[in-house]
Amino acid sequence: MTDFVVVAVQEAEQRALDQSEVLRLQLADQERFAQALMSPPHPSQALNICPRIPLLGQ
């Protein structure tokens, strides 16, 4: 019975750590996204030439 309890507690601990890391990453991603909306980067040279490249089938 003791091994069962130890394994169950370890699994619960790992789930709690995984979830807290995901929440922190999600918050950081939200902040990064909001910052990119407020101050978007300038388009790269490759992105600037994309409209001049003809699409296949057109």
pLDDT in tens, 3-16: 888 888 899 999 88
pLDDT one-digit tens code per residue, 8-55: 889 999 988 888 877 777 899 999 999 999 999 898 988 888 777 777
Confidence of residue 57 (pLDDT cuts 50, 70, 90): low
Q: Which residue has the higher pLDDT, 52 or 2?
A: 2
pLDDT the model gives residue 38: 95
Backbone angles phi, psi at 49, to 5 degrees: -85, -10
pLDDT at 56: 67
